[in-house]
Structure 1
Amino acid sequence: MIFAAAIAEAFRAACREEIEAPKPGNVHVFAGGHNMEAAHFLTSAEASAGPLAAPGASVGARVLGAVTASFDAVGMNTNLGIVLLCAPLAAAAERGGPLRPALAHVLAGLDRNDADQVFRAIALANPGGLGAAAHHDVRHPADTSLLEAMREAAPRDRIAYQYASDFDDIFVTGLFALAEAQTRGLTSPLRAVAVYLVFLSSFADTHVFRKFGAGTAAEVRREATEMLLLFHSRRGDCLPELLAFDQSLKARGLNPGTSADLTVATLFADRLRNGLPSRRNDD
């Protein structure tokens, strides 16, 4: 179907743009890190795009299918957070109409089956910092809807918070940062760097927080704020400084993966809002 293919390509393009951006602490084409390389992420994006955009699929089925395909392709967790964020956006785009109201409808309809499939995907990916939970442990069958599980996790996980807030960080912080970057004349991949640094400086990255605690997460946020000021003052012309910050974070084992996931979702949402064909052209 034309429309599904367009959603899949929007996802691939968002993933490519993000991996081409020199995002400090995260994997990109300028430098690998954390035992991963850019090729792992590009392969994962290609493998997971089809299941993510599967016509008529539930959010849970999209997540489980995409994570399974990605894990089969590269044998490691590269894009769980990306898929968790992009699957509801893909389902919303399939509905048609303005993206955020459609997304709110998708999120409101999430049920226990969605939770079961997402829990299986999370357990398969086994992300860093995952431990036993007092409520809604992903290693056990779901006992509530996916939306309720995400609401319970929202205070400690920024990806879960998106489900609880109708993706507030994406539609407010992320898309505003993207529009501002474009107003400043930044193009790909520097506009993705701008979005990433805004996320990293706006709140504690929960991937860093889970693994290293509040103090380290706050320090990374402070350093990102300084880098964002430099980035803006030089209109993005600061690759040596970005790569030095990148090396510093990686030397400390710090991977702001949540900020990178939110960046992909922002780029994906932008493409879904502005780059899809009319549903009238769909097969």
Structure 2
Amino acid sequence: MISVELILLALSPIFLALIAWEWWRYRQVKPAIYRWQDSLANAILALMYQGGEFIAVIVLMPVFIVIYQWRLFEIEINVSTLFLAFLLQDFLYYWFHRASHQVRWLWASHIAHHSSRLMNFSTAFRQSLTYPISGMWLFWTPMMLIGFSPKIVLAVVALNLAFQFFVHTQSVKKLGVLEYIFNTPSHHRVHHACNPCYIDKNFAGVLIIWDHIFGTFIAESESEPCRYGITDNFESDNPLLITFYEWQKMWQDLLVANNVGEKWLSLFGPPRPKVNIDTTDKSLTISNEKID
């Protein structure tokens, strides 16, 4: 059976080669866009994430099979239906990603991906093993109800995630006409930025068209360089602290909540109000120094 883990594992040599190339290219640029402690944390988080996903697929596959038994249509797999699966999954990914910034229960997992002050290819590896707990998989179940088999759904999810590795970089500037169709490094730098004007924008997986349609698009501006990380000055290279940072804060808020409404909001309301960090420091972006 094709799985998320197998597809991403097969592509890992390409991922690692690009990380090595990017590090080598920018090794003498100040400020550095790589720190070994940050990259090591990203690698450990990726392994934890893969382990969590492997267990989740085993546990959830019986659920997926039951859901698939209630499918509305018998879909024959061909080029057209595979394209439809890609398009539908990318649409659902947009809403999963947007919800992950607006619902605290989902943000508790997704925050790990945004917690680095750096932006490089290794940042794509910075994932949380708690995604199955927060319910990322629920967003793919409509595809199974429509008639796409769990195997096809998981394969399309994996390909979407694989594409997103390539947008985690400062090495690639704007890509002309492709900027209007696809999620690009420029668009995704905006998504990772903690500048107030960039927060909660550009949720695309592969196609940026969803952000244009639903009003969440903003272009990267030369006058507003991206600064990365989350907005409460969190900085850590400890994979466990990165993974459970927001879960711990959420649990603390739940314990002190005064009533059922407050308890509900502590879990499923918007993430805690974002604190504006000092965005005058431009040390977290690549300098204008010429790179040979």
Q: Greater helix share, 1 or 2?
A: 1
Scaled by the length of structure 2, the TM-score of the pair is: 0.29
Scaled by the length of structure 1, the TM-score of the pair is: 0.30
Q: Based on CA coordinates, which of the two structures has the bigger radius of gyration?
A: 2
